[in-house]
Amino acid sequence: MRVLEEDLFPSTPGKVKIERAGAMNRQLHRCFASTSTMFLWALFLVAMTASYLSFQSFVDTSSKYLAASWGGLHWERQIRASAAPRRPPGSAAGAGMSVLVTGAAGFVGTHCSLALRKRGDGVVGVDNFNAYYDPSLKKARRALLASHGVFIVEGDINDGRLLAKLFDVVPFTHVLHLAAQAGVRYAMQNPASYVHSNIAGLVTLLEACKDADPQPAIVWASSSSVYGLNDKVPFSERDRTDQPASLYAATKKAGEEITHTYNHIYGLSITGLRFFTVYGPWGRPDMAYFSFTRNILQGKPITVYRGKDRVDLARDFTYIDDIVKGCLGSLDTAGKSTGTGGKKRGPAPYRIFNLGNTAPVTVPNLVSILEKHLRVKAKKNVVEMPGNGDVPFTHANITLARQQLGYKPTTNLDVGLKKFVKWYQSYYGYTRGSKNSRQ
């Protein structure tokens, strides 16, 4: 045992090697018997080491290149082409904007990018394609945008180098910031993801915007959830928003304060939009109207929450096309940012608007409308609303948006859900009366 230990851990390595490795030594001696052979061996070893090192550095460089999904001349050409406005010369609407849309493969991001592109504005998207919900839906939205000439960069808004590069390549006039960790109840499962996207990501984006020259005007998605436990209806922008009921709401409220700071110090033009439960085709599978549809069609039960004293929950469900009009109206009316070189040159606009439908509908009513359009009865489990961050109702006062953005919602829940169901059945391959689908 002692011998073995000494073999493995010699106290004086050089000496021991010579004494104990006699056989090997004799062999080596034969190999290096002549000086010229030794010289050739040394040369061979140096050559091997050099080629190993250069191979390693090639592998390092190429793996870095492969790991980054952005960069390079071809990539820059794609960005520039996608960002270029294509409004006809002399168009009444002006020369057109170049808009960086974050969360472009998301629900609202896809619809807004498409609408901007269709009216001739330049759009470049950024999206991290995370797996909060089925990424294949996000990829399908990306394919839809690509077919209209909108390019989406796969990257995270926390990547300051990527954002700086994008502003380097394109002098974006506007940023439509929609990338976020959405969902009210998921915040209890994964709180860090809300801090990562809605706080850290927002600050990284604002830093890039404040450093950009010219600075873009920023329109971004806040949420109706900032009204939290406010019970004064309808919710007006002047109502209190200091009682959030969920971490999600708290991060959106924090976003409103953070954007105010960047407006105040650096002169960034800011418009925050408080969206009220947006729904429609290409929507988010985590939302109630979407998951209810999936379960009803698959014959599975749905859970309907009910408030205290058996009061039904209600939401001011807002159709996606109305939200798109509110977003584009905000971009069109956003005043310019005033800073250069990271310094404010004068006051810049700071605005907040409710974008709702002003017609709340109860959750049981939502289910009845879905049953009608799907022609299938839901299996309902009605349970008391768990303490998971939900609020009992939402209802938007939209006077300010109507006055300043010309915002006027026109789609009620019945019409909007009919369009959603039509899209859902076609996207997931349901034919009328059939239960076959690709879900």
Identity of the residue, 183 or 244, whose beta carbon is nearer to ligand UGA in the bound complex: 183
Q: Near ligand UGA by CB under 6 A, which window of 8-16, 77-85, 220-228, 400-408?
A: 220-228
Report yes or no: 221 and 273 within 8 Å, Cβ to Cβ.
yes
Q: Tokens at residue 350, please? A: 């700071």
Q: Tokens at residue 341, please? A: 């070189």
**Alpha helix stretches (DSSP H) within 286-412:** 288-297, 320-333, 363-374, 399-405
Kindly tell me which residue out of 276, 282, 353, 420 binds ligand UGA, with binding defined by CB under 6 A. 276
d(CA 436, CA 439): 9
| Footprint of ligand UGA on 174-193 (CB under 6 A) | 182-184
Kindly tell me which residue out of 303, 368, 431, 439 binds ligand UGA, with binding defined by CB under 6 A. 303
Q: Near ligand UGA by CB under 6 A, which window of 47-55, 81-89, 188-196, 223-231?
A: 223-231
Identity of the residue, 276 or 282, whose beta carbon is nearer to ligand UGA in the bound complex: 276
Does residue 315 interact with ligand UGA by CB under 6 A?
A: yes
Identity of the residue, 60 or 384, whose beta carbon is nearer to ligand UGA in the bound complex: 384
CB count within 10 Å of CB 207 equals 16
CA 117 to chain centre: 19
Q: Tokens at residue 220, please? A: 């971004």
Q: Near ligand UGA by CB under 6 A, which window of 17-25, 231-239, 269-277, 410-418?
A: 269-277
Does residue 371 interact with ligand UGA by CB under 6 A?
A: no
CA count, 13 A, side-chain hemisphere, 198 = 26
- Which of 436, 418, 327, 319 minimizes the C-alpha distance to 370? 418
Kindly write down the DSSP assignment for every residue of 346-415, as one continuous string: S---EEEEEE--S--EEHHHHHHHHHHHHT---EEEEEEPPSSS--SB--B--HHHHHHH-------HHH
In the residue annotation, 305 being an active-site residue is answered as no
Kindly tell me which residue out of 305, 353, 424, 430 binds ligand UGA, with binding defined by CB under 6 A. 305
Q: Near ligand UGA by CB under 6 A, which window of 8-16, 82-90, 131-139, 221-229?
A: 221-229
Does residue 390 interact with ligand UGA by CB under 6 A?
A: yes
Task: Return the SS3 of 220.
Answer: strand
Identity of the residue, 276 or 407, whose beta carbon is nearer to ligand UGA in the bound complex: 276
Residues labelled as active-site residues:
248
Q: In the complex, which residues of this chain contact ligand UGA (CB under 6 A)?
A: 182-184, 223-225, 275-277, 287-288, 303-305, 313, 315, 363, 390
